[in-house]
Amino acid sequence: IPTVRLYPDESGVTGRRVILNCLVSDLFPPAAEVSFWKNGQPLEPVDQTALFTFDSSWRYTVLYHAQIEPTVGDRYSCLVELENKQQMQEYWGIVPINTGVRGVRDTLTLGYGGYGTH
């Protein structure tokens, strides 16, 4: 069963462009549709690139990249649709947290999974 991991090249960055990585591992056959989403809407594919590798058991690893400019509250996802139409999705975002100090807020970078058949 393939696994999906979604992560930025830099953590906790807001207000400037970063690379969001979607790593799909243990993929065979290597036929899969991968797309990036922001707040439930597809990202423009023009910013996406991919890198394929495989190991001695012919299991493929695919690394997709998308340029994003994250802001607090945005929810990004990587949707992977396999050849058999099974879908897996991984989520990532930056959420505000309350520090407990009056007038002070901070942010927390979260990666939260949503694997499964959709």
| CB-based contacts of 100, cutoff 8 Å, min separation 6 | none
Check whether 72 has a pLDDT greater than 90: no
- The CA distance from 31 to 23, in Å, is 14
- Determine the average pLDDT of the residues in 68-88: 89
- Determine the average pLDDT of the residues in 39-61: 76
- Backbone φ, ψ for residue 45 (5° rounding): -70, -10
Question: Which pTM does this prediction carry?
Answer: 0.77
Q: Which amino acid is at 9?
A: D
| CB-based contacts of 74, cutoff 8 Å, min separation 6 | 38, 39, 93, 94
Q: Which domains does the chain have, with CATH numbers?
A: 3-94 (2.60.40.10)
Q: Residue 78, class by beta-carbon neighbours within 10 Å (0-12 exposed, 13-18 middle, 19+ buried)?
A: buried
